[in-house]
Amino acid sequence: MFDFDTNITYLTGIGPAKALILQKEMGVFNANQLLNLFPNRYVDKSKMFTIRELQAGNTEVQIKGVVTELKEVKQKRGSRLVATFKDETGRMELVWFRSNRWLKSGIKINEPYVIFGKLNFFNGSFSMPHPDMELEVNYKKSIAAGLQAVYPSTEKMSAKGFNNKVMSKAIQHLIKEAYPFIQETLSDEILEEYNLLSKKEALLHIHFPKNQEYLARAQKRLKFEEFFFIQTQLIRNKLVRQDKIKGFVFEQVGAYFNDFYQSGLKFDLTGAQKRVLKEIRADLASGAHMNRLLQGDVGAGKTIVALLTMLLALDNHFQAAILAPTAILATQHYQAISELVAPFNISVKLLTGATKTKERRVIHESLEDGSLQILIGTHAVLEDKVVFKNLGLAVIDEQHRFGVAQRSKMWMKNKLPPHILIMTATPIPRTLAMSAYGDLDVSVIDELPPGRKPVQTVHRFDSARLRVFKFMRDEIAKGRQVYVVYPLIEESEAMDYKDLQDGYESIQREFPLPDYRISIVHGKMKPEDKEYEMQRFVKGETQIMVATTVIEVGVNVPNASVMIIESAERFGLSQLHQLRGRVGRGADQSYCILMSGVKLSNDSKTRLETMVRTSDGFEIAEVDLKLRGPGNLMGTQQSGVLNLKIADLVRDSKELHMARNTALELLREDPNLEMAKNLPIKNAYQQIHKRTSIWANIS
């Protein structure tokens, strides 16, 4: 019996020194991990060339022949080793610039070798530096086939002689020993339905593929399996949560909800808002704990949906809370909600780090006696001394800014956890939502309220700056306000800060006092100064706001109709989209002007063209996913979910959908994986579950 937990130190072809470097550089500690260290590309060795067939355009070639002569050639530093290599059609040179002594003693003269490497062509003749060499007799015995795997590596591994050949040999020995003991992890039914290779064959052909067809089939099988077990774990978590974690039942749709719906709403809800409310109401009445992600573009009306959900909590004699990542955003929610519920005798308070001690005491007391119905705040709400009488619903805004530990604190506020509604204005691509939020119920508000005009977006080069200044003057003359935003990236903060100051001074020259007033806001300012400048702009006392991305979230100025983004090529797509969402909040036509230099990378061009072409946040998120990859999009809390070995969320979305649908069907039929046919899945699932504890009930 082969033990897959065997430490790599004891595997053939590795030993203690190589094991240490493999552990440090690749995080590979046992046989199972080495077996699942997949190649990142393949070199085609299906063709054997003769020397006469070689052409100057050939890159990597494989040739069979013999070494007839070996000599050391002195050079300025040390010496190089040169071999004459012949086959029946001609001769060429093989050259080594290091490890000469060791090589010289190891190479056998006039013995048939198979060599492989990159060709050099100089002065009419070919040479090959540092070729891979194998005696033909050993070559014929190896399982290495037409396509040779190239494994991930690092400089330290290369420096220690742990090259691709050593890695390939070690994996070859491992496959030979482990092959009879590799267990199947999927059911016969799934293998047949999708015509998948067995687990044994997939592992053999991912490392040593016979040909392109076998490689493609091995990749398909392993990608499907990786997605399938992620989805099985996420879906099971969701089922367990719905089954085991009981939630408060909101049976009543009473006066708070109905009165506000009939006379408090100043506009009709969109079809999407009504659909989402229906989904939320079904959750709240089910007796199971709600854990719902509410996605909606900037301005799609998520706050109204959240408020109506909170009113349902109030109708059922529960309290509600909104958690926002910044004081600015919390204050904005507080002002908007207080104004909307003022006629309905509902108690609402704001709690942030800046709340005075006296006011805090009042909030704490009224929360505990139940007289405070809605609390809106920042991380301050999570403090242990903030105790609710009966918290029934927690709304978390921009949830990616709160860690799992922080969110779990909301659960601890009650004996039974409150229902959780998570809101995000960063649209998440479907493929990403399916993997990172597969254990959440997802609702999408995918239409804007009537009367909202899409923001017109244009791209202008720096040479058009005077025309842009004229456009700003025209808009200000109509009574509108303008944002001018500069990038601020930590690595280049000093340079960015200088750009901001230079830009501010040039705008001051173009828009002088007393006709124009300008606010400036950046991260180096004291919070009270920042707030003062923001408020001047909010009240309309200044017409232009020059800022860094601190205004990305949380400033709502319906009168601001122009967003100018300087050095737009340096921003990510989601950031550009968030910034554009700061305008277009009133009834007037709004504009977003993307300023850039002339020299643009292909990715920058794609980002700017996408922004000009569409205002659909979900389409933008898909492009962003393709450009940046999932790891960068998710932020640190969720990165573990996306630590994929072979599958790729963008390229392999077809396999992801296939795997998710299969997992759903399987768990509907056999939620506890108890059927005999699903025994291989159950065994594999338990092994994976033991090794990974990254999926928690707290979204």
Vertex 162: Cα angle to 691 and 142 (nearest 5): 90
Give the distance, in angstroms, between the CA of residue 334 and the centroid of all CA atoms in the same chain: 31
CB atoms within 10 A of CB 389: 15
Q: In this structure, are residues 380 and 659 in contact, taking their beta carbons and an 8 Å threshold?
A: no
Residue owning tokens 């920058």: 604
Phi, psi angle pair for 341, to nearest 5°: -95, 0
CB atoms within 10 A of CB 330: 25
pLDDT tens track for 177-197 = 999 999 999 999 999 999 999
Q: Is residue 127 scored above 80 in pLDDT?
A: yes
Neighbouring-strand partners of residue 84: 69, 93
pLDDT for the residue 437: 66
Same domain for 460 and 420?
A: no
Is 620 a member of any domain?
no
Same domain for 409 and 491?
A: no
pLDDT tens track for 534-565 = 889 989 999 999 998 766 555 678 899 999 99
DSSP 267-289: SPPPHHHHHHHHHHHHHHHSSBP
Same domain for 395 and 468?
A: no
* Band (295; pLDDT cuts 50, 70, 90): confident
Same domain for 474 and 418?
A: no
- Mean pLDDT of the region 202-221: 93
pLDDT tens track for 1-44 = 899 999 999 999 898 999 999 999 999 999 999 999 999 888 87
pLDDT for the residue 434: 66
Is 387 a member of any domain?
yes
Q: In this structure, are residues 288 and 421 in contact, taking their beta carbons and an 8 Å threshold?
A: no
Q: Is residue 494 scored above 90 in pLDDT?
A: no
Is 229 a member of any domain?
no
Same domain for 407 and 466?
A: no
Query: How do 591-596 and 456-461 pair as beta strands?
Result: parallel
The two three-digit tokens of residue 665, written as one number: 């069907």
Please state the domain count of the chain: 3
pLDDT for the residue 670: 94
CA dihedral 227, 232, 235, 236 (to 10 degrees): -160
Q: Is residue 491 scored above 70 in pLDDT?
A: no
pLDDT for the residue 450: 74
Is 643 a member of any domain?
no
pLDDT tens track for 495-525 = 666 778 888 999 999 999 899 999 998 877 8
Q: Is the dihedral of CA 36, 37, 41, 47 positive or negative?
A: negative
Is 692 a member of any domain?
no
Same domain for 399 and 505?
A: no
Which region among 107-116, 156-165, 409-418 has the lowest average model confidence (pLDDT)? 409-418
pLDDT tens track for 638-673 = 434 456 789 887 678 788 889 999 999 999 999 999
| Cα end-to-end span (Å), the chain | 40
Separation between Cα atoms, residue 291 and residue 297, nearest integer Å:
20
The two three-digit tokens of residue 642, written as one number: 């996306």
Is 502 a member of any domain?
yes
Separation between Cα atoms, residue 451 and residue 507, nearest integer Å:
32
Separation between Cα atoms, residue 533 and residue 328, nearest integer Å:
13
Q: Is residue 432 scored above 50 in pLDDT?
A: yes
CB atoms within 10 A of CB 594: 24
Which are the contacts of 490, defined by CB distance < 8 A and separation ≥ 6?
Answer: none
Of 143, 177, 212, which one is at a domain's C-terminal end? 143
* Band (699; pLDDT cuts 50, 70, 90): very low
Q: Is residue 489 scored above 80 in pLDDT?
A: no
Of 116, 143, 170, which one is at a domain's C-terminal end? 143
- Counting Cα atoms < 13 Å in the Cβ hemisphere of 71 gives 8
- Counting Cα atoms < 13 Å in the Cβ hemisphere of 192 gives 4
What pTM, to 2 d.p., does this model score?
0.66
Is 221 a member of any domain?
no
Residues of the domain holding 73: 46-143
The two three-digit tokens of residue 410, written as one number: 């909301």
- Mean pLDDT of the region 366-372: 95
Q: In this structure, are residues 395 and 369 in contact, taking their beta carbons and an 8 Å threshold?
A: no
The two three-digit tokens of residue 169, written as one number: 């040999």
Of 614, 634, 664, which one is at a domain's C-terminal end? 614
Same domain for 404 and 464?
A: no
Same domain for 356 and 402?
A: yes
Same domain for 563 and 610?
A: yes
654: left (phi over 0), alpha (psi -120 to 50) or beta: alpha
Q: In this structure, are residues 284 and 312 in contact, taking their beta carbons and an 8 Å threshold?
A: yes
Same domain for 511 and 404?
A: no
Is 524 a member of any domain?
yes
Same domain for 363 and 488?
A: no
Q: In this structure, are residues 31 and 176 in contact, taking their beta carbons and an 8 Å threshold?
A: no
Q: Is residue 103 scored above 90 in pLDDT?
A: no
**CATH number of the structural domain spanning residue 139:** 2.40.50.140
CA dihedral 349, 353, 356, 361 (to 10 degrees): 60
Which region among 209-213, 293-297, 305-309, 337-341 has the lowest average model confidence (pLDDT)? 293-297
Which region among 282-286, 495-499, 502-506, 616-620 has the lowest average model confidence (pLDDT)? 495-499
Phi, psi angle pair for 421, to nearest 5°: -120, 115
pLDDT for the residue 436: 63
Phi, psi angle pair for 300, to nearest 5°: -80, -10
Separation between Cα atoms, residue 592 and residue 561, nearest integer Å:
8
Q: Is residue 368 scored above 90 in pLDDT?
A: yes
* Band (64; pLDDT cuts 50, 70, 90): very high
Q: Is residue 174 scored above 90 in pLDDT?
A: yes
Same domain for 478 and 401?
A: no
**CATH number of the structural domain spanning residue 516:** 3.40.50.300
Q: 565: helix, coil or strand?
A: strand
